[in-house]
Amino acid sequence: MKVTIFGSGYVGLVSGACLADVGNEVVCVDVDHNKVDMLRRGEVPIYEPGLEQIVRSNQEAGRLSFTTDVAAGVEHGLFQFIAVGTPPDEDGSADLQYVLSVADGIGECMNGYKIIVDKSTVPVGTADKVRARIDAALELRGQTAIEFDVVSNPEFLKEGDAIDDFMKPDRIIIGTDNPRTGELLRVLYAPFNRNHERVIAMDIRSAELTKYAANAMLATKISFMNELANIAERVGADIEQVRIGIGSDPRIGYDFIYPGIGYGGSCFPKDVQALERAARALGYHAQILEAVEQVNYRQKELLFHKIKSHFGGDLRGKVIALWGLAFKPNTDDMREAPSRVLMQALWDAGARVQAYDPEAMDEAARIYGSRGDLSLCRSPEAALRNADALAVATEWKVFRSPNFDAIAEALADPVIFDGRNLYDPKYLKARGFAYYAIGRNGG
Ligand SMILES: NC(=O)c1ccc[n+]([C@@H]2O[C@H](COP(=O)([O-])OP(=O)(O)OC[C@H]3O[C@@H](n4cnc5c(N)ncnc54)[C@H](O)[C@@H]3O)[C@@H](O)[C@H]2O)c1
C-alpha cells in the first residue's frame, strides 16, 4: 500500500521504516532539510538499535524515500500519517502548530480520497481540528467534493525498543468513526497483527485519550515508587526490598516500579503536563496528575542534594564524574533527562562535571557546546580520573558491574551517588565506599 509519513523523528522514521519493511511503498516528508539529506545518504540521525539497517535496506529496495516536498508526499499515499512533534506550549499544554500545519499542507495539495492518520500524541479533540483545517483548505480551493477521513492511531513504541515495539505491538489502537476506514487500516497493520489479535477499535476521542492515559499511568507508577522511596529512606527501610515485596502481587507486578531520580524523555513529562492542563481548561483539577509531576520534579533534584550534603554544603571546585546522560538506556535522547537537572545544579554550585554516556555524547555536545565546567569523556574510566565522586544517572548495562577497585583508586575519596540503585549497599560499604542510593537503608 502507499503510505506517506509527515515527520521523520523517532516515531515517523520507525513507523516509515517498519511499514516499508513489510512491503509498503513509503514516502517520509520532513521540513528539516538537513535531516532529509542525511536520511537520503542512509545516515540515521538518532540512535535506535536496528533502525539504521532497516532504513538502508528499504531505501536500497526502493520502498522508502525521504523528501521535503509536501505536494509529492500528499500525492503519494492513500494513508497520510501525521507523526510530527507535539511539544509543550508555554503553559504546558500540547502545542499543535506542527500537527495543524501538516493538516494545512494536506488540505492544500489533496486531489483525491485520503485517510489522515494522527499518530502524534495529541489532546482529545485534535482529530476534529485536523478535519476542520483540511475542510477550510479545500473550501479555499473550491474542492469541497474531495473526501477524506481522519483517524486516531496513537503510537506506543518505546525508544530503545522501538523496532520490536512497532513490529510486535502490544496493541494497535484505531480510533475512527468510519468502519470502512478502520478496515483499511486493519489491512495496513495486518503484518504486525498475525500472532494474535492486537487491533483495538474505538471512537476517535477515546483513542486520543488512551495514549495520554497509558503514559500518565506509567508516570504515576514511577512517581509513586519515588514517593515510597523517600518515605523508606526516612523510616530506615530499603525500597528495593519493598519493591520486590509488592511486585510479587500480580495486581501490582514488577514492571515500572523502579525507584530512581525521576522520569524524563520526550513523552512522560510533556504528556502528564498536557493532560493535566487539558483537564484544567475544562474546569477539572486533576490532583493525581499534578502530584505525579511535582514528585518527579523534586526527584530530579534529589541526587544533587545528596551530593551537596555529603560535601558539607560546598561544592565549589569539586569534580563529579557522571555516568549516564541519556534519559534512559539504549537511546541518545536527552530530552528532560534527569542528568541535565543534576549537571545544571552542580554547575550552579561551582562544581565541574566529567561525563560519559555510551550513546549520548554527541547529543550532549550539541546541547552544551564547549563549556569549561563540562568534560565529555571517552570512557567511564576517563570520567573518573581525578574526580571527587561518582554519580550514576542512567542504568546502562555497562555501568552495572564496574571494577570498584579501579573506581576507589581513581576517586579522591571513594564515594558513589547512585541515582538508579544499581549496586549493593552492603557490598560497597564493606569495601570502604560511602554509598548513597534512592530509598535504601541509610540513604
Ligand atoms: N519519541 C517517542 O518515544 C514517542 C513515542 C510515542 C509517541 N510519540 C509522539 O509522537 C510524536 C512525534 O514524536 P517524536 O519523538 O518522533 O518527535 P521528533 O521531535 O523526534 O520528530 C518530529 C519530526 O517532525 C518534523 N516536522 C515538524 N513539523 C513538520 C511538518 N510540518 N512537516 C513534516 N515534518 C515536520 C521535525 O522536523 C522532526 O523531524 C509526538 O507527538 C510524541 O509525543 C513519541
Domain boundary, last residue among 175, 201, 227: 201
Same domain (yes/no): 218, 358: no
Give the number of the atom of ligand 1 that is nearest the alpha carbon of residue 266. Answer: 1
Give the number of the atom of ligand 1 that is nearest the alpha carbon of residue 267. Answer: 43
Same domain (yes/no): 179, 191: yes
> Which tens digits make up the pLDDT trace of 251-275?
999 999 999 999 999 999 999 999 9
Same domain (yes/no): 152, 177: yes
**CATH code of the domain covering residue 336:** 3.40.50.720
> 286: closest CA among 271, 300, 301, 304?
271
> 82: closest CA among 147, 22, 31, 145?
31
**Does the annotation count 267 as an active-site position?**
yes
> Looking at the predicted structure, is the pLDDT value of residue 31 above 90?
yes
d(CA 242, CA 240): 5
Same domain (yes/no): 173, 142: yes
| Total number of residues shown for the chain | 443
**What is the best residue among 4, 48, 266 to mutate for testing ligand 1's pocket, by most ligand atoms within 8 Å of CB?**
266
For residue 13, give the amino acid letter. L
d(CA 205, CA 211): 11
**What is the best residue among 6, 11, 327 to mutate for testing ligand 1's pocket, by most ligand atoms within 8 Å of CB?**
11
Centroid of ligand 1 to alpha carbon of 22 (angstroms): 22
Choosing from 18, 109, 267, 377, the catalytic residue is 267
d(CA 109, CA 346): 51
Rounded mean pLDDT of 371-396?
A: 97
Rounded mean pLDDT of 40-53?
A: 95
206 part of a folded domain: no
Greatest C-alpha distance within the chain: 79
> 431: closest CA among 412, 414, 418?
414
Same domain (yes/no): 170, 43: yes
Q: Give the global pTM.
A: 0.95
Give the number of the atom of ligand 1 that is nearest the alpha carbon of residue 105. Answer: 31
Residues with Cβ within 8 Å of 335's Cβ and at least 6 positions away in sequence, in order, are 264, 265, 266, 327
Rounded mean pLDDT of 13-39?
A: 98
Same domain (yes/no): 393, 341: yes
Instruction: Print the domain residue range for 423.
Output: 300-436
Nearest CA to ligand 1 atom 43: 121
**What share of the chain has pLDDT > 70, as a percent?**
100
* Mean pLDDT lowest among 89-93, 276-280, 352-356: 89-93
**What is the best residue among 4, 5, 8, 10 to mutate for testing ligand 1's pocket, by most ligand atoms within 8 Å of CB?**
10
> Looking at the predicted structure, is the pLDDT value of residue 408 above 60?
yes
For residue 381, give the amino acid letter. E
Centroid of ligand 1 to alpha carbon of 324 (angstroms): 24
Q: Which residue has the cell 514528585?
A: 295
**What share of the chain has pLDDT > 90, as a percent?**
98
**CATH code of the domain covering residue 282:** 1.10.1040.10
Strand partners, 415: 434
Centroid of ligand 1 to alpha carbon of 142 (angstroms): 31
50 part of a folded domain: yes
Residues with Cβ within 8 Å of 292's Cβ and at least 6 positions away in sequence, in order, are 216, 219, 220, 223, 272
On the CB side of 218, CA atoms within 13 Å amount to 16
> 162: closest CA among 357, 330, 362, 334?
330
Same domain (yes/no): 189, 269: no
Centroid of ligand 1 to alpha carbon of 217 (angstroms): 22
288 part of a folded domain: yes
* Averaged confidence pLDDT in the chain: 97
- The pLDDT score that the predictor gives to residue 443 is 44
Residues with Cβ within 8 Å of 283's Cβ and at least 6 positions away in sequence, in order, are none
Give the number of the atom of ligand 1 that is nearest the alpha carbon of residue 8. Answer: 39
> Which tens digits make up the pLDDT trace of 103-146?
999 999 999 999 999 999 999 999 999 999 999 999 999 999 99
Same domain (yes/no): 345, 244: no
244 part of a folded domain: yes
Same domain (yes/no): 228, 179: no
Domain boundary, last residue among 201, 228, 257: 201
207 part of a folded domain: no
441 part of a folded domain: no
Centroid of ligand 1 to alpha carbon of 121 (angstroms): 9
Continuous segment of H or E residues that includes residue 391: strand 389-392
Q: In what order do the strands lie in the sheet with 172-175?
A: 64-67, 25-29, 2-6, 79-82, 114-118, 148-152, 172-175, 199-202
In 8-89 the beta strands, taken as DSSP E runs, fall at 25-29, 64-67, 79-82
Rounded mean pLDDT of 195-208?
A: 97
Q: Which residues line ligand 1 (CB under 6 A)?
A: 6-12, 29-32, 35, 83-86, 98, 101-102, 120-121, 155, 157, 159, 266-267
> Looking at the predicted structure, is the pLDDT value of residue 213 above 70?
yes
442 part of a folded domain: no
Same domain (yes/no): 354, 384: yes
Counted domains in the chain:
3
Same domain (yes/no): 15, 163: yes
> Looking at the predicted structure, is the pLDDT value of residue 442 above 80?
no
Centroid of ligand 1 to alpha carbon of 99 (angstroms): 9
- The pLDDT score that the predictor gives to residue 441 is 72
d(CA 431, CA 114): 65
405 part of a folded domain: yes
Domain boundary, last residue among 201, 230, 255: 201
Q: What does the block give as the cell for 186?
A: 486493519
Same domain (yes/no): 343, 285: no
Residues with Cβ within 8 Å of 305's Cβ and at least 6 positions away in sequence, in order, are none
> Looking at the predicted structure, is the pLDDT value of residue 95 above 80?
yes
